[in-house]
Amino acid sequence: MTDNKRVVGLDIDDTITAHPHKYASLSLSEHLLVNMVVIISSRFDTPIVRAESLAQLVDLNIYYDHMYLFKPFDDMDPVCPHEDLD
């Protein structure tokens, strides 16, 4: 990516879903400008949730390059990296 291109991050719930037409237009304009559009969501990354999220983005006419979802709690590292802090 060149220096004059940018990355635009959009959340699904209460952002895209609150104003779907606005974000469909924004994602399309950024796509046409060859900027990167990234979807970021706190939804858990399970096969069902990922498929539902992808379908929802298609239904809302959202253009994007990548989608990032949270790992399910069972897949997270249970060790706190700051266990030495009180």
- Which pLDDT belongs to residue 5? 85
Question: Exposed, middle or buried, 27 (CB in 10 Å: 0-12/13-18/19+)?
Answer: buried
Indicate yes or no: pTM above 0.75: yes
- Extents of the domains making up the chain: 7-72
Q: Are 15 and 42 in contact (CB under 8 A)?
A: no
- Which pLDDT belongs to residue 73? 62
The pLDDT tens digits for 52-80 are: 999 999 999 999 999 999 876 666 566 66
